[in-house]
């Protein structure tokens, strides 16, 4: 009996060794001594939302190619693209998809065009409510470069999942022209459709910073195609720190309430493109991001200003409500081991949005900012308010930083915000 048991153990050990050798043959050589294995890190991302509703006209595509431009943050030696049908009610049919480095406009760099496959398939049906992550694509991606993601939509497709305000020129052309280096007769758009992220493989343990906010984080109202959003400028400041920056700002977004606009107001129908509340989307847009280690929260001004002007008055919030929301984000970030930094809300006195500013709302902003600065509950504080306010009129934005609507910073204001972020915050856990 003992001899039989010993022989069985030897056979089992040999079988395990053989399986291990076969697995190494399939997956490639072991990592060299002293070298860390590759990890996936987000290099670009956007927050996706549903589509606007009537009276806003619907957007549809059929037998057309979307060619969309994204500006990456951290470099990588290979990549994956994440598409999204998360707000769709019908399957999203992708006839073909490709990725390439961008030369200029809609033109790709010769020799960089690569097919995107999904589970080995060059065409795919993405179920309603689901994303689709591509297989690995071997393509060197320099930091601060642009990628072109081309998606062919063969059947009639409603633009159910989108990011409405990209501040980036994208292209739409007839037929399947995903492989074309240049496009002729294309129309343009400043929205992204069905595209939510790009991650890269890095040779050592990199990480990402998630910028989680509203239109000010999204980049309103900066110069189109300039990549002057404060998260872009932060990525430039981070240099060789092996940190990607992911912009999860959504115009009109609120901390506590989903996008919701008055049916008889000037913003009727666009509530869905303001996105789910921060509390609802935090797990998907922050915790699930590849390599996420840090998150910067700039939210609350729409919770203060929208009710009664854009959103129903019944959705008004108190300072205690805002603090509750912040504490929820802090607890959920800490549960997953992320460092979370609170950013103070910027001034908005005399904003051109009718009914948005009030003295009562300003009092809420001041009180909430005081809590962010002094409570000690965030892992760090970024004082955007101090960076862009007029010292002589603290409730107003400095004229040199004002886009003109007295709410959104211009390109110079975005640079001041990025410059106000202490880089020591990203030195460790």
Phi-psi category of 373—alpha, beta or left, where left has phi over 0 and alpha has psi -120 to 50?
alpha
pTM, two decimals, is 0.91
Which of 204, 230, 253 is the C-terminal boundary of a domain?
204
Pair 225, 307 in one domain: yes
Residue 174 sits in the same domain as residue 245: no
- Pairing state between β 92-94 and 76-84: unpaired
Q: Which domain holds residue 56?
A: 39-204
Residues 211 and 200 in one domain: no
CATH number (domain holding residue 234): 3.40.50.1110
pLDDT, position 204? 75
10-residue mean pLDDT profile of the chain (429 residues): values are: 41 38 32 53 98 97 98 96 98 98 97 98 97 98 97 98 97 98 96 98 89 98 97 94 96 98 95 98 98 98 97 98 98 98 98 97 98 98 98 98 98 98 88
> Looking at residue 203, what is its pLDDT?
67
Task: Report strand pairing: 92-94 vs 207-213.
Answer: unpaired
Q: Say whether both 83 and 156 belong to one domain.
A: yes
- Tell whether 268 and 408 lie within a shared domain: yes
User: In the listed set 158, 177, 204, which residue is the last one of a domain according to the structure?
Assistant: 204
Per-residue pLDDT, 181: 97
> What is the number of domains present in the chain?
3
**What token pair was written down for 327?**
């504490």
- The answer to whether residues 166 and 213 belong to one domain is no
Same structural domain, 23 and 129: no
Mark whether 234 and 141 lie in a shared domain.
no
Q: 367-400 burial, b if ≥16 CB within 10 A, otherwise e?
A: ebbebbeeeeebbbbbbbbebbbbeeeebbbbee
- pLDDT at residue 257, rounded to an integer: 98
């Amino acid at each position: 009996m003992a001899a039989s048991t010993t022989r069985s153990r030897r056979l089992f050990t040999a079988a395990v060794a053989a399986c291990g050798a076969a697995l190494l043959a399939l997956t490639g050589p072991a990592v060299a001594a002293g070298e860390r294995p590759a990890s996936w890190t987000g290099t670009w991302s956007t927050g996706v939302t549903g589509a606007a509703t009537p009276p806003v006209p619907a957007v549809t595509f059929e037998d057309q190619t979307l060619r969309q431009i994204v500006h990456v943050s951290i470099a990588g030696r290979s990549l994956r693209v994440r598409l999204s049908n998360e707000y769709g009610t019908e399957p999203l049919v992708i006839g073909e998809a490709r990725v390439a480095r961008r030369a200029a406009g809609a033109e790709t760099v010769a020799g960089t065009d690569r097919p995107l496959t999904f589970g080995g398939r060059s065409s795919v049906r993405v179920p309603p409510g689901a994303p689709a992550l591509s297989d690995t694509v071997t393509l060197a991606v320099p930091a601060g470069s642009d990628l072109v993601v081309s998606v062919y939509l063969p059947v009639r497709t409603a633009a159910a999942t989108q990011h409405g305000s990209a501040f980036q020129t994208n292209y739409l052309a007839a037929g399947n022209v995903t492989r074309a280096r240049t496009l002729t007769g294309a129309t343009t758009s400043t929205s992204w459709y069905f595209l939510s992220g790009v991650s890269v493989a890095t040779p050592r343990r990199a990480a990402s910073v998630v910028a989680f906010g509203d239109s000010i984080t999204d980049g309103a109202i900066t110069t189109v195609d300039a990549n002057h959003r404060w998260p872009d400028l932060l990525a430039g400041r981070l240099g060789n720190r092996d940190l990607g920056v992911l912009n999860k700002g959504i115009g009109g977004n609120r901390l506590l309430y989903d996008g919701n606009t008055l049916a008889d107001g000037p913003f009727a129908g666009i509530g869905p493109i303001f996105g789910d509340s921060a509390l609802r989307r935090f797990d998907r847009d922050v915790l699930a991001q590849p390599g996420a280690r840090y998150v910067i929260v700039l939210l609350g001004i729409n919770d203060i200003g929208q009710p009664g002007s854009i959103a129903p008055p019944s959705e008004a919030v108190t300072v205690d409500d805002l603090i509750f929301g912040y504490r929820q984000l802090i607890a959920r970030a800490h549960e997953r081991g992320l460092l979370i930094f609170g950013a103070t809300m910027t001034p908005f006195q005399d904003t051109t949005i009718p009914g948005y500013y009030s003295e009562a709302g300003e009092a809420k902003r001041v009180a909430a900012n005081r809590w962010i600065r002094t409570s000690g509950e965030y892992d760090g504080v970024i004082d955007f308010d101090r960076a862009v306010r007029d010292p002589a009129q603290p409730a107003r934005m400095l004229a040199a930083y004002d886009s003109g609507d007295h709410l959104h910073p211009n390109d110079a204001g975005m640079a001041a915000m990025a410059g106000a972020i202490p880089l020591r915050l990203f030195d460790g856990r």
